[in-house]
Structure 1
Amino acid sequence: MGDHNELPDLIRRVKEGDPIAFELLLSAYRSAALSWAQAIVRDAFLAEDVVQEAFLKVKDNINNLKDEEKFGAWFRVMVRRIAMNSIRGAANRSEYVTEDIPETGWEAFSGGEAFSPEASQEREEDEDLIRSSMRPLSEQAREVLSANAFEDATTEELAARFGMKPSNIYNLLSRARVKVNEERFRKEIERYLEVRKKSGYTAARMLPVPVFSRPYAFLSVMIGEALRTVGEEHISHTELMGISGDAFRLNVATSCHSHGISTFDWSYTAYRILERLGIRGTCFGRPQRKTLTPEQQVHILSILHGSIDQGVPAIIWNMQSNEFGFIYGYDDSDQKILYLGHSGVERIVRYDQLGRKTDQPPLFVLGIRGKVAPSQTVDATLRAIIDHARGKEPPLAGYAFGLDGYRLWLEAVEDGSLDLQGHAYQVAILAEARQHAAKYLLELSNNSNNVWRKQRFAEAAACYMQVSESFTRLYPSFPFGYGGSHAGRMSKIRDELRFAWDAEKEGIHIIAAIVE
């Protein structure tokens, strides 16, 4: 925290359910939590998972903390326990022991699993929530679902008890669970909105309709557009692309599917982009997330509300599949938000539908609070570019990152599995991205007072301009929109990809020489 005296008041506001206070707490302790987690798990990506889980646990357990001044030590123990559980494999079973965390320093951690009255009370509250969510069901459905949930009765046992066919029991349980789940989401949203109302937050707000100024939406472009709405216009598009690393990013899916260009660990990447740009913000969402809990949905809502309340539209990915967009307005009374996608399509979306469509990829949301510090040093940016090129980011099955993306791309060409539409999308975006990479490196060369660095930057810029030109030549090299045979074009695709790969490897080699 910037001022330690602010902490008790902030904790009290979090206890009262103030969503903005929680976002401030998350922002204040995120860096420290990452260092605590990484000291145990020894893996930056796993540490991200630990910290994300720890903050969700904070919301669930904050009322157990009696002394607000001891939050730091209490939270550190929580992070350590979740980290220890994760390396023991308990993370996959959600067996996080946080309810009995003491309010003393982290040295008190002994790894014991003591009985906790608070944990017992929480389980009772969870059961009460389930029972209250069953109220819309018929009496028979409530009895069957209760027996199944609280007595672990099997389908066969339930069929015998209620004189029904097992198939009918199965259908009844299936429908009842859907209704109960809908009720849980509804209740959680109502509780969240009630807290907002009591805390004095506005019930509705609509910002000016956002403007998209670029033909392709990178995360850095979206951040730049959002910053411009609050008067932060001094960062050029090329600077944003360079400092964020978008100009140097390469994600490739198996067969070069079109989703590959934008499928990576969004939260991990976004936080690092914000750090390098000196921007404060909060985000949620990862591509491997398959389900969404009511608590997580409310967390998404709090990010959207918090950003719009600051006068900045929130960034969202996958509201429409494989598309960036903005949330720029909300109305709590109607429980609806206003969305504008990069395609230009405006939509009104209900709160309870956020992130819950099973036929679409997971949501990613990013709320920006504004510029709070200067951008990081050039060398810090270059190290991040090198790390990405070497594939140092959270892995995803079926995807390759950095220079290794060329390998997966070429494999699709060689085995005949290349998705031509995905290939078209990839080369069009990369032609622009690498052009900005070259321009960014050339600007660094022009601004450098060191003769040796000036020359190296210029050499790296030349490499990336070659990459951009190679992708530009690749764009019309297959029958996308033209029809007919693509015989002979695959060899050209292969040659150009190899040329681009070699040029980019040389560019990264030069950049690494500058900072290493």
Structure 2
Amino acid sequence: MDHPFDLKDLLSRIRQGDHAAYETIFNRYRAAAMSWAQSVVRDPYSADDIVQEAFIRMKDKLHQLKDDHKFAAWFRLMIRRMAINSIRGGDSRRTIVIEEMPESGPANRGRSDEIREWQEQEASAELVRRSLAKLSKQARDVLDAAASEEATPEQLADRYNMKKSNIYNILSRARLKVNDERFREEIAAYLLERETHGHPNCCLLPAPTYSRPYAFISAMIGEALGTADITNFTYTELMGISAEAFRINMPENCDWQGILTFDWSYAAYRTVERLGFSGVCVGRPQQTTVTPDIQVRMLSVVHGSVDRGIPAVIWNMERNEMGFAHGYDDRSQEIRYKGYNGETRVYRYDQLGRQTDERPVFVFGLRRRVSPPSSEDTVLRAIVDHARGKEPPLKGYVFGLDGYRVWLEGARRNTLDLSGHAYQVAILAEARQQAAAFLELLADRSRGADRRTQLLAAADCYKQVSKWFVRLYPRFPFGYGGSPANRWRDIQEGLQAAWDAEEEGIARIEAVIAGS
């Protein structure tokens, strides 16, 4: 993994704020970092959250590393400590500070690590024991026999002289009750620690507004920052710097429920990094379970963001919806939430991540400004990287320009989800309009004639893409008129034209980068 001839140079450039060097280190060490984190938390989604935050923290703390050749060991220990901390409940204030970490790293497992892991296992076992104690004796006996003896429902029905259906009900209700109790216990322990550290027990921020489409994480981040009067980025700048103006996510057959599915944490971290801020998030696509420790980590993100005066962004608190958590009350254990439709709702803490069947939930909280915004070339490289599909993969999804291929295949097979198709073209028509505006903005700021010419040419390409999507949007109610054959032909021709125009636009952006 280590490249001794350039590692020191890369780390030096990162300390100087070089985003390209940071991306190189990220790509080089991400797989190893995932392995280090997953060896502790045992959950790939939790591990991914830890790794994303670790890379942000690494950049902030890198000046403390005295010997660059020991970077891998130093970073591995950082991730391990963060992973152990996440098991304890996710409060980043409890993470052991980097100054206390030996640079040599844990080459051999120490006695303290073994004791710590044993303590974590004992704490988990004790939690289960307390949960079971609140069940009826009959439910405890049935559950114990099913677990320890691996007795079948038929055997349990004979033993307790009950109907098999009653056994199923007892097992189901007992497991749900134990599970609910585990969530309540974890939340109670977390709130007790907040109280011990003197944190406020309630906070209510003004309800954020929704001046822009709710489908874009960058728009939500902008609204959150605007609520706190932290920054004055325009909507066009947010869409461009985040690269969301150029994003395309394509599920098979353009299924409407998957159009907004991508690695939200990756996108959010990259967005705030390019804006010059730090943040923390929990939640990954295709994460089908929410454990008590994950729920507490989500709650910690909400608390931390609101305490800083910034609403937290939440995805899927309501089905397929982005919204804000802008207040909390530890006494009643309630979160104040506002969805894109303008309604303010209240949710219990133990509903966070468990409110809908359409999991997973994603929670993102902003922290503070840590650096100037990224350079224009860094943003342009991020745009090209997405177009070329260079981002964390998800099973069943295609990202970037290759999404057009999947989209067209669905149209040619007549298998498109037409509701999803309508939703997608509406989102992308708005996004590509902002892409053209962003490129024109960069052209206006450009000092070189060639760069300006290429950027304006790219902007024209994205104007054409937006126009094609406007044409592709079906007339009410999701109809195209004419024969079915004409409908599919129009969709195919429009998609191909949009694809060709966007390919040319990306080629123009690549020419700008090459000429820098």
| TM-score, length basis structure 2 | 0.79
**Does structure 1 conserve the Cα–Cα contact (< 8 Å) formed by 2:33 and 2:51?**
no
Q: Does 1:395 align with 2:387?
A: no
**Does structure 1 conserve the Cα–Cα contact (< 8 Å) formed by 2:333 and 2:349?**
yes
Give the 5 Å matches for 1:94-173. Answer: 105-106=103-104, 108-110=106-108, 116-149=114-147, 151-155=148-152, 168-173=166-171
**Does structure 2 conserve the Cα–Cα contact (< 8 Å) formed by 1:278 and 1:373?**
yes
Over 3 Å counting, the alpha-carbon distance change for 1:171 and 1:484 in structure 2 is: farther
**Does structure 2 conserve the Cα–Cα contact (< 8 Å) formed by 1:209 and 1:328?**
yes
What amino acid does structure 2 have at the position aligned with 1:340?
Answer: K
What amino acid does structure 2 have at the position aligned with 1:442?
Answer: E
2:87 corresponds in structure 1 to none
1:4 corresponds in structure 2 to none
Give the Å deviation of 1:224: 0.8
Distance in 1 (CA, whole Å) between partners of 2:483 and 2:276 is: 50
Distance in 2 (CA, whole Å) between partners of 1:266 and 1:199 is: 31
Q: Does 1:444 align with 2:427?
A: no
- Of residues 244, 261, 271, the one that matches 2:269 is 271
Over 3 Å counting, the alpha-carbon distance change for 1:82 and 1:283 in structure 2 is: closer
Over 3 Å counting, the alpha-carbon distance change for 1:231 and 1:393 in structure 2 is: same
Give the 5 Å matches for 1:85-484. Answer: 105-106=103-104, 108-110=106-108, 116-149=114-147, 151-155=148-152, 168-357=166-355, 359-476=357-474, 479-480=477-478
Over 3 Å counting, the alpha-carbon distance change for 1:381 and 1:310 in structure 2 is: same
**Does structure 2 conserve the Cα–Cα contact (< 8 Å) formed by 1:145 and 1:176?**
yes
Moved more, 466-475 or 479-488: 479-488
What amino acid does structure 1 have at the position aligned with 2:494?
Answer: E
**Does structure 1 conserve the Cα–Cα contact (< 8 Å) formed by 2:318 and 2:356?**
no
**Does structure 2 conserve the Cα–Cα contact (< 8 Å) formed by 1:424 and 1:475?**
yes
**Does structure 1 conserve the Cα–Cα contact (< 8 Å) formed by 2:277 and 2:369?**
yes
Over 3 Å counting, the alpha-carbon distance change for 1:164 and 1:34 in structure 2 is: farther
Over 3 Å counting, the alpha-carbon distance change for 1:494 and 1:210 in structure 2 is: same
**Does structure 2 conserve the Cα–Cα contact (< 8 Å) formed by 1:478 and 1:486?**
no
Moved more, 380-389 or 207-216: 207-216
* 3-state SS, counterpart of residue 400 of structure 1: strand
Q: Does 1:52 align with 2:46?
A: no
Moved more, 326-335 or 34-43: 34-43
Distance in 1 (CA, whole Å) between partners of 2:408 and 2:109 is: 49
* 3-state SS, counterpart of residue 322 of structure 1: coil
Give the Å deviation of 1:395: 1.6
Distance in 2 (CA, whole Å) between partners of 1:32 and 1:188 is: 38
Give the Å deviation of 1:145: 2.4
Give the Å deviation of 1:370: 3.6
* 3-state SS, counterpart of residue 362 of structure 1: coil
1:15 corresponds in structure 2 to none
What are the superposed Cα offsets for residues 331-350 of structure 1, whole Å, 9 maximum, x if unpaired? 11111111111122221111
Q: Does 1:38 align with 2:30?
A: yes
Distance in 1 (CA, whole Å) between partners of 2:391 and 2:273 is: 16
Distance in 2 (CA, whole Å) between partners of 1:459 and 1:31 is: 28
Distance in 1 (CA, whole Å) between partners of 2:440 and 2:146 is: 66
State, as a whole percentage, how many aligned pairs show the same letter.
52
CA RMSD of aligned residues (A): 3.5
Distance in 2 (CA, whole Å) between partners of 1:148 and 1:122 is: 25
Over 3 Å counting, the alpha-carbon distance change for 1:240 and 1:55 in structure 2 is: closer
**Does structure 2 conserve the Cα–Cα contact (< 8 Å) formed by 1:386 and 1:511?**
yes
Give the Å deviation of 1:113: 12
**Does structure 2 conserve the Cα–Cα contact (< 8 Å) formed by 1:470 and 1:499?**
yes
Count residues in correspondence: 454
| TM-score, length basis structure 1 | 0.79
2:76 corresponds in structure 1 to 76
Distance in 2 (CA, whole Å) between partners of 1:113 and 1:302 is: 30
**Does structure 2 conserve the Cα–Cα contact (< 8 Å) formed by 1:77 and 1:109?**
no
What are the superposed Cα offsets for residues 169-225 of structure 1, whole Å, 9 maximum, x if unpaired? 443222211110010001111111111112211111111111111144311111111
**Does structure 1 conserve the Cα–Cα contact (< 8 Å) formed by 2:215 and 2:427?**
no
Distance in 2 (CA, whole Å) between partners of 1:295 and 1:32 is: 32
Over 3 Å counting, the alpha-carbon distance change for 1:470 and 1:241 in structure 2 is: same
* 3-state SS, counterpart of residue 316 of structure 1: strand
**Does structure 2 conserve the Cα–Cα contact (< 8 Å) formed by 1:281 and 1:368?**
yes
Over 3 Å counting, the alpha-carbon distance change for 1:500 and 1:182 in structure 2 is: same
Distance in 1 (CA, whole Å) between partners of 2:368 and 2:112 is: 43
What amino acid does structure 1 have at the position aligned with 2:179?
Answer: N
Structure 2: gaps of 5 or more residues: 1-21, 39-43, 55-71, 84-99
Distance in 1 (CA, whole Å) between partners of 2:206 and 2:400 is: 37
What amino acid does structure 1 have at the position aligned with 2:381?
Answer: R
What amino acid does structure 2 have at the position aligned with 1:154?
Answer: A
Give the Å deviation of 1:74: 7.7
Give the Å deviation of 1:229: 1.3
Over 3 Å counting, the alpha-carbon distance change for 1:34 and 1:482 in structure 2 is: closer
